[in-house]
Amino acid sequence: MQAGEAEGRRVFGATVDGSGRIVLPAEVRAAFGLKKGSEVSVVQDETGVHLQTPQQALRAIQAYFQNLVPPEVSLADEVIQEHRDEAARERE
């Protein structure tokens, strides 16, 4: 398996065996701390098939939600205020 560079990314070749398995190059496994039994997600999108570690998936989800909320807004503060407002209404 030879590695190459493309668009700032490392590109490795791999072959699918008769059981549908692909062996990840040792360099890739080492870079992401993947060992026997490590879990990865297989993501299919319009650009191809990608593997993600659980940590990468979490970071992607966090980035998605961070883009939905302006930086000056604290969702925690909003939830606390909603609870206070609800408690005040219940006391009335």
Domain ranges of the chain: 3-91
Alpha-carbon gap, residue 40 to 62, rounded angstroms: 18
The whole-model pTM stands at 0.59
CATH architecture assigned to 3-91: Ribbon (2.10)
In the DSSP assignment, the letter for residue 20 is S
Model confidence band, residue 4 (pLDDT cutoffs 50, 70, 90): low
Within 8 A by CB and 6+ apart from 5, the residues are 11
pLDDT tens digits along 50-79: 999 999 999 999 999 888 988 888 989 999
Q: Which of 7, 47, 4, 39 is nearest to 25 (CA)?
A: 4
